C-alpha cells in the first residue's frame, strides 16, 4: 500500500492509553534517500501494524532540519527522522527532544562544479559552497572537513562562503555558476555528478567523519516519550524497516522511488538511487562521540551557547527491544 504524506490512514476507533491519552501520532521525515527507514516503514505498513488500530497516524514532510525541529517544537511532529545537527542546536536551549535510535550513517558527500577550478578541498579557499541550511548536519560536516585543511567559513572569520539552498536547487546553482561546490545528502550528490557537471571532492566514507558520520537519527519529543508504549511501537516498526532494507536493498530502493514519486510528482532514476544507496549505511547505531564533536563544532560556529548534550541520546528503549 503506497502511503501519501499527510494522509490519515487510520481512524481513531478505540479508547486512549492509561499512560497517556494520545490517540494520534505524527511522523516527520524528509523526502530523500537518507530517510529511507521511515519511508520503508510507511510503505510496508510497519508503523500501522505496530501502533495498532487505536492510534491515528499522520505524516509530515519537511525539507530541512530547522523546519523539522520547528514542527516538533510546535507539536506538529511527534517523532521521526532528522539530522543530529538541528536536533542538538535546539536541545541545548530546550532539552525536551531526544535521539532514540540511529537511522543512517554516511549518505552525505562534497561535490564541486567541474568548471569551478576546485579539484581538492584546499581549493575551496575563497569559494562559495551550498549547504541545505545554516546549522544543518551537512554544514557541521563541512566545517569539520575545512578544519583539516586550515580553512573556515566567512562567518567564523575564514574565506569559505556558506550558501543555504534546498538540495533540489543545487543543480540549478551549478548550472548558473552561483556556487562552486555543495555539501549535500544523497541522492542529490549523485544528481550533481550526472546532471550538473559535478565531480566528487569527498565521498561519503571520506567526508567529515566518514563512515562514522551520523547523518540521520530518530528524534522524539519528551511528550511523545512519556508514553513508553508509543515509543516502543515506533521503534519496533523502525527496527523492522532497517532489517528489511538490509536484507532487501533493491526492493527498498524501489519503494523509495515510488513513494517520492507520489509525494513530489517526480520519479527518481533507478540507477541514481542505487548509486546513492551505496553511499550510505542503514543502521540503528548512534556514534555518540561523533555527535559530541558535532556539538563542539556548533559551539565554535556560535550556533549554540553550549556543547553540553548530556541526556540528549536515550537509547534505553531501543536496547531493551534488542535484548
**Full-model pTM:** 0.86
Strands (E), 52-155: 56-61, 79-82, 97-106, 108-113, 128-131
**Average pLDDT of each block of 10 consecutive residues along the chain (323 residues)?**
41 38 89 94 98 96 92 96 92 94 93 96 98 92 97 97 93 96 92 94 93 87 93 98 98 96 88 90 94 95 94 95 86
Query: 96 to each of 66, 93, 187, 205, 312, how far by Cα in Å?
Result: 16, 9, 31, 32, 8
Q: Of 302, 110, 139, 299, give the one whose Cα is nearest residue 210.
A: 110
Cα separation, 261 vs 135, whole angstroms? 29
Q: Where are the alpha helices (DSSP H) in the chain?
A: 36-43, 46-51, 65-73, 84-91, 137-147, 170-175, 188-195, 222-225, 228-247, 249-264, 270-277, 288-300, 316-322
Tell the CATH superfamily of the 108-211 domain: Periplasmic binding protein-like II (3.40.190.10)
User: Start-end ranges of CATH 3.40.190.10 in the chain?
Assistant: 24-106+213-322, 108-211
Instruction: Sort 11 into a burial class: Cβ within 10 Å, 0-12 / 13-18 / 19+.
Output: exposed
Asked if residue 37 lies in contact with residue 29, where contact means CB atoms within 8 angstroms, the answer is no
Fold type of domain 24-106+213-322: D-Maltodextrin-Binding Protein; domain 2 (3.40.190)
Strand pairing partners for 61? 29
N-term to C-term CA, the chain = 31
Residue 21, pLDDT score: 61
Question: C-alpha angle with apex 42: 37 to 47, nearest 5 degrees?
Answer: 95
pLDDT in the model for residue 6: 40
Beta strands at 214-221 and 24-29: parallel, antiparallel or unpaired: unpaired
Amino acid at each position: 500500500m503506497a502511503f501519501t504524506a499527510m494522509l490519515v490512514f487510520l481512524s481513531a476507533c478505540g479508547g486512549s492509553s492509561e499512560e497517556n491519552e494520545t490517540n494520534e501520532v505524527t511522523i516527520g521525515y524528509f523526502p530523500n534517500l537518507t530517510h529511507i527507514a521511515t519511508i520503508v516503514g510507511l510503505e510496508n505498513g510497519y508503523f500501522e501494524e505496530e501502533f495498532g488500530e487505536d492510534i491515528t497516524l499522520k505524516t509530515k514532510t519537511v525539507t530541512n532540519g530547522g523546519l523539522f525541529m520547528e514542527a516538533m517544537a510546535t507539536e506538529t511532529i511527534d517523532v521521526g527522522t532528522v539530522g543530529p545537527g538541528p536536533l542538538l542546536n535546539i536541545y541545548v536551549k530546550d532539552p525536551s527532544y531526544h535521539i532514540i535510535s540511529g537511522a543512517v550513517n554516511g549518505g552525505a558527500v562534497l561535490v564541486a562544479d567541474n568548471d569551478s577550478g576546485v579539484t581538492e578541498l584546499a581549493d575551496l579557499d575563497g569559494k562559495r559552497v551550498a549547504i541545505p541550511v545554516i546549522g544543518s548536519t551537512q554544514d557541521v560536516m563541512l566545517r569539520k572537513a575545512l578544519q583539516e585543511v586550515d580553512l573556515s567559513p566567512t562567518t567564523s572569520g575564514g574565506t569559505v562562503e556558506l550558501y543555504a539552498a534546498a538540495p533540489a536547487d543545487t543543480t540549478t546553482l551549478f548550472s548558473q555558476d552561483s556556487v562552486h561546490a555543495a555539501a549535500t545528502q544523497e541522492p542529490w550528490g549523485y544528481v550533481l555528478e550526472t546532471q550538473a557537471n559535478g565531480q566528487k571532492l569527498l565521498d561519503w566514507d571520506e567526508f567529515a567523519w566518514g563512515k562514522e558520520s551520523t547523518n540521520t537519527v530518530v528524534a522524539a519529543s519528551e511528550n511523545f516519550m512519556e508514553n513508553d508504549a508509543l515509543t516502543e511501537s515506533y521503534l519496533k516498526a523502525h527496527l523492522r524497516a532497517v532489517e528489511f532494507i538490509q536484507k532487501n536493498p533493491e526492493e527498498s530502493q524501489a519503494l523509495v522511488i515510488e513513494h517520492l514519486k507520489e509525494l513530489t510528482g517526480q520519479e527518481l532514476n533507478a540507477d541514481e538511487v542505487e548509486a546513492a544507496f551505496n553511499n550510505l549505511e542503514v543502521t540503528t547505531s548512534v556514534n555518540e562521540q561523533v555527535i559530541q564533536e558535532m556539538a563542539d563544532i556548533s559551539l565554535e560556529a556560535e550556533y549554540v551557547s553550549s556543547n553540553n548534550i548530556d541526556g540528549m541520546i536515550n537509547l534505553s528503549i531501543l536496547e531493551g527491544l534488542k535484548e
